[in-house]
Amino acid sequence: MGRITIDTARVLGVFADVHAGTYLAVAGENRVKTHGGLYDPRMRNEGQLEIYGRWAQALEVCDEFDVDTVLLLGDLTDGTNRVESGYGQISTDLEMQKDMALDLLKPLCEDRVVHVTNGSIYHESMDTKIHRQIAHRLEDGAEEVHFHGFAASLDLKGTDKNFIFGHEWTSAMLYTATMLDREHIYMKYAEALGKIPHFDYALGGHLHKFYHIDTGFMHLICVPGWKSWYPYKGKLRLYGRMQPDIGFVIIIIDDKNRSYVKPFVWNAPHILDEMKEG
């Protein structure tokens, strides 16, 4: 039997939860200056350097797989952390945070089709739409940029695959797979009633974890993020469960409309909860 070769029709790179602007998340290697101050990459801690190493790896992987389309599923900036009066932020200047996000995203999106959705309200601005502005500024360098707001339904050209994606499908940390399976059941029910079209992929982020449910007829994927552990609502509760994944997902559709999901997932470094000697 001869060796099977794969001729790709489309290749997608799916990213979420960059959270630029906090010392707990990925930060680039270029100086970023705005009217609110200066970010110098020499300020990065060891954990950020490790995460950035993974980011650089992601750029190489996207090139190796000839990614033609990038999906950015929100929370690209960390926001002002208004509940804690800006604690933990490199800067609460949202202009600087947007610049920090773009420093990371522009090399990823160059010469590619890009789709952007909003993030969670907490990591947005109360006065302006950060992700819309980031999408607009990515137009300089990208092949195409589409901003979708809350969610997007996408009929992927050159394939028979349909996608629906947005930032958050569920906030359930304990039984995430159960909640994603429930979403699948209700989506198939609505499809049977003719209320929604068939979707081959449902994609989201928000949990900073990788999950993939493949039913044979539909893929439900929770995409990992680029931020280390932080105490949810200021508590150590579920410390082990809340340890995040760092990474992204490649989705390949071949010329026979077969799907291949390739996750690239790493353990997050410990920044806030770094081990000390004593």
Q: Is the pLDDT of residue 76 over 60?
A: yes
Q: What is the pLDDT of residues 219-240, one digit of tens each?
A: 999 999 999 998 877 778 878 8
Confidence band, pLDDT 50/70/90 cuts, at residue 208 = very high
Confidence band, pLDDT 50/70/90 cuts, at residue 14 = very high
Spacing of C-alpha 219 from chain mean position = 17
CATH (domain of 23):
3.60.21.10
Q: Which among 118, 111, 166 has a CA at the least distance from the CA of 144?
A: 111
Burial 70-82 (b: 16+ CB within 10 A, else e): bbbbbbbbbbbbe
Q: What is the pLDDT of residues 79-97, one digit of tens each?
A: 887 777 778 888 888 889 9
The terminus-to-terminus CA distance of the chain in angstroms comes to 62
Q: Count CB-CB contacts under 10 A for residue 83.
A: 10
Domain assignment present for residue 37? The answer is yes
Domain assignment present for residue 276? The answer is no
Please, are residues 222 and 207 in contact by the beta-carbon 8 Å criterion?
yes
Total number of domains in the chain: 1
% of the chain surpassing 90 pLDDT: 66
Domain assignment present for residue 40? The answer is yes
Q: Is the pLDDT of residue 1 over 60?
A: no
Domain assignment present for residue 199? The answer is yes
CA dihedral of 187, 188, 192, 196, whole degrees rounded to 10: 30
User: 195 lies in which domain range?
Assistant: 8-267
Domain assignment present for residue 184? The answer is yes
* Total H helices, total E strands in the chain: 4, 13
Cβ-proximal residues to 254 (8 Å cutoff; 6+ apart), any chain? 6, 7, 8, 9, 260
Q: What is the pLDDT of residues 107-149, one digit of tens each?
A: 999 999 999 999 887 767 666 789 999 999 999 999 999 999 9
| pLDDT at residue 4, rounded to an integer | 66
| pLDDT at residue 33, rounded to an integer | 82
Domain assignment present for residue 228? The answer is yes
List beta partners, residue 249.
14, 263
Domain assignment present for residue 1? The answer is no
Q: What is the pLDDT of residues 159-173, one digit of tens each?
A: 999 999 999 876 666
Domain assignment present for residue 39? The answer is yes
